Amino acid sequence: MSSLPTTTRFLLIGALLLPLTACVTHYPEQPPSVPPRGPEIRTIPAPPPPPKPAPVPAPTPAPPVAGPAAPLYAEAETALQAGNYQAAEMLLQRALRIEPRNPRYWYALARTTAQQGNHRQTVQFCLKAASLAGNDSQLTHRIRSLQERAERALQQ
């Protein structure tokens, strides 16, 4: 190669190196203002908080009792509130002789016997009241609650 003129040597070297540039891959550089991106991290959103339970509505007072024995029932309720259970029981039994299919009277009688500690009779009066309560869900709930308490008291 020493016998070749200098320009020919440069051309020959350039011709030999030219195919080598085709093997080189060129990666474009990102501009310096853009930071290099790492792997994308996705956060899983937190689950929504559980819904708040609906407030329990306050029990509505029982509708006033109407009928021929209503005055006896009202007097019995007053006696029951005053703690005079024997008078309340007597008045409710009189009311039941007049209106034997009134579930409120049977429930009041069950409450009276429960206050006196007679749990067997309380359960029986609750069963009778429940059989007559029909679609009155509030009364049925109160009857079942009293019946469960009386049954627990019997088991102790």
Instruction: Please state the rounded mean pLDDT for residues 120-145.
Output: 96
> Taking 90 as the threshold, does the pLDDT of residue 48 lie above it?
no
Model confidence pLDDT, tens digit, residues 75-96 = 999 999 999 999 999 999 999 9
Please report, for residues 73, 75, 149, 153, the alpha-carbon distance to residue 123 in angstroms, rounded to integers and kept in the order given: 20, 23, 9, 11
Token pair 């039941």: residue: 96
Asked if 83 and 67 count as a contact pair (C-beta separation under 8 A), the reply is: no
Residue 23 has a pLDDT of 63
Residue 6 has a pLDDT of 80
The residues spanned by each domain of the chain are 69-155
> Taking 90 as the threshold, does the pLDDT of residue 105 lie above it?
yes
> Taking 60 as the threshold, does the pLDDT of residue 55 lie above it?
no
Q: Counting every residue, how long is the chain? A: 156
CB < 8 Å & 24+ apart, contacts of 118-124: 119/150, 119/151, 119/153, 119/154, 120/150, 120/154, 122/146, 122/147, 122/150, 123/147, 123/150, 123/151, 123/154
Instruction: Please state the rounded mean pLDDT for residues 40-57.
Output: 67
> Taking 50 as the threshold, does the pLDDT of residue 58 lie above it?
no
Token pair 């996705």: residue: 42
pTM (global) more than 0.85: no
Asked if 153 and 119 count as a contact pair (C-beta separation under 8 A), the reply is: yes
Q: CATH classification of 69-155, choosing from 2.60.40.10, 1.25.40.10, 3.20.20.120, 1.10.10.60?
A: 1.25.40.10
> Taking 50 as the threshold, does the pLDDT of residue 56 lie above it?
no
Instruction: Please state the rounded mean pLDDT for residues 122-126.
Output: 97
Confidence of residue 9 (pLDDT cuts 50, 70, 90): confident
> Taking 80 as the threshold, does the pLDDT of residue 144 lie above it?
yes
> Taking 70 as the threshold, does the pLDDT of residue 62 lie above it?
no
Average pLDDT over the chain, rounded to whole? 83
> Taking 50 as the threshold, does the pLDDT of residue 152 lie above it?
yes
